[in-house]
Amino acid sequence: MDFLRGITNLTNWLANVIMPTLAALFFAIGILRYGKGYAHGYIPYAGFACLMVSGLIRGLEKFSVQAAWDDPDLPWLVTRGLVNWVGNVFMPVYAVLQIVQGTLAYGGIGHRIYAGQAWMRHFAAAAMALTISGLTRLAEYFVTQGTGGIS
């Protein structure tokens, strides 16, 4: 077994076994402290952080299975897949959420309406998210129409 395979196995073990186990432990400690009337502090957030580490590692594994483990283009393929996902999936969904929040804020849900308040920020964030998504798609189009494209 070489060093790279050992590091990969260690990372998989930490992300897929240890982190979810620690998350369950942090959640159990938070419940016990809540039941005794103590302040829970940031213990549940630590559990969510452990689950996020596990999820991020699994997500990066999904992006990296597009090529063999010894392919020299693997970092580029992982980065391209991540940018693709963020630009084409996450940003439009985030824009919709910002439009909903802006509409609720403009309608006075939760507070009064003032010019220049949060509703304008939500609509601006939605426009920026859709701009990033559109620019990502435009860049993909130009690259695929170029000489050779991305294979």
Residues 51, 86 within the same domain: no
pLDDT value at 16 more than 60: yes
Residues 78, 151 within the same domain: yes
pLDDT value at 6 more than 60: yes
Distance from first CA to last CA of the chain, Å, rounded? 31
Q: Which of 65, 84, 101 is the last residue of a domain?
A: 65
Residues 104, 151 within the same domain: yes
C-alpha to C-alpha distance for 49 and 17, rounded to whole angstroms:
15
Residue-number span of the structural domain to which 109 is assigned: 72-151
Sequence-ordered list of residues with C-beta below 8 angstroms from that of 10, at least 6 positions apart, any chain? none
Quote the percentage of the chain above a pLDDT of 90.
15
Looking at every residue in the chain, the average pLDDT score rounds to 81
pLDDT value at 88 more than 60: yes
Q: How confident is the model at residue 77 (pLDDT cuts 50, 70, 90)?
A: confident
Q: Which of 45, 65, 85 is the last residue of a domain?
A: 65
Number of domains comprising the chain? 2
Residues 43, 97 within the same domain: no
Region of 2 on the Ramachandran plot (φ > 0 left; ψ -120 to 50 alpha; else beta) = beta
Residues 150, 78 within the same domain: yes
> Which ranges of 36-88 would DSSP assign to H, the alpha helix?
43-64, 74-85
Q: How confident is the model at residue 61 (pLDDT cuts 50, 70, 90)?
A: confident
Residues 140, 82 within the same domain: yes
